[in-house]
Structure 1
Amino acid sequence: MKKNNFFYEIYKEFFYYITWPKWYELQNSTILIIFCSVFLSIFLYGIDVFFIFLIKKFFSL
């Protein structure tokens, strides 16, 4: 396979065969990811505080 043919095929695939997401789809995905990240961090923080409380109670006997 020739180099020129290889790069031409890459160019064709990049500009003609890939479907890029629309702007509103990117916004919706970004908002969803931010919401899930914040929710997960708060949830994991709560679990961490709960286990720290349990460990302190268990070892303070």
Structure 2
Amino acid sequence: MKNNNFFLEIYNEFFHSITWSKWIDLQLTTIMVSFFSIFLSIFLYGVDTFFIFLVKKLFSL
């Protein structure tokens, strides 16, 4: 009897208490995360390239 009540409460919470995001909000969030991930990877690539150049110049003396 306790298990039936537990699963009934799970069902009620899942279908009646949770508020799901709208599809357009999910799409916009996905686009923003993708954009900033690409931007951050390009930025870090540039910083890494700069430091490699700097270390090569410092240790080639």
Q: TM-score by structure 1 length?
A: 0.95
Partner of 1:39: 39
TM-score (norm 2): 0.95
The number of equivalent residue pairs is 61
Between the aligned partners of 1:58 and 1:2, the Cα distance in structure 2 is 71
Q: Distance in 2 between matches of 1:2 and 1:50?
A: 63
The 1-side partners of 2:41 and 2:14 are apart by: 36
In structure 1, stretches of 5+ residues that fail to align are none
Shift of 1:16: 0.4
- The gaps in structure 2 that reach 5 residues or longer are none
- Identity among equivalent pairs (%): 69
Runs of 4+ in 1 over 3 A off after TM superposition: none
Cα offsets for 1:26-54 (capped at 9, x unmatched)? 11001100100000000000010000001
What is the RMSD computed on CA atoms of the aligned residues?
A: 1.1
Query: Matches of 1:2 and 1:59 in 2, distance apart?
Result: 71
* Cα deviation, residue 5, structure 1: 0.6
- Alignment of 1:51 with 2:51, yes or no, is yes
